[in-house]
Amino acid sequence: MLQELVPGVKGSVPFPRYFIRSGRNVFFLADDLATGEEWWGVPARELD
């Protein structure tokens, strides 16, 4: 499932915990609620 993490940016992790902005890119940390495993992700494009 794709969920909009921040306006215009989609990722495959459904439950973002928080975001880290690095320049024009946003990284996010999310939990897989089924296993408790943490997932790091990077959006498909840079933010404006």
- pLDDT for 47 equals 46
Place of tokens 């928080």: 18
Count Cβ atoms below 10 Å from residue 31 Cβ, excluding itself: 15
9 within a domain of the structure (yes/no): yes
Amino acid at 43: P
Q: What is the pLDDT of residue 28?
A: 65
> Total domain count for the chain?
1
First to last CA, the chain: 24
Q: Are 10 and 43 in contact (CB under 8 A)?
A: yes
> Is 46 inside any structural domain?
no
Q: What is the pLDDT of residue 29?
A: 64
**pLDDT tens across 1-48, in order?**
344 555 555 555 555 556 666 666 666 666 655 555 655 555 545 444
Range of the domain at 11: 3-41
Quote the pTM value: 0.28
Q: Are 11 and 40 in contact (CB under 8 A)?
A: no
Q: Does 34 map to a domain? A: yes
> What is the C-alpha to C-alpha distance for residues 8 and 22, in angstroms, rounded to an integer?
17
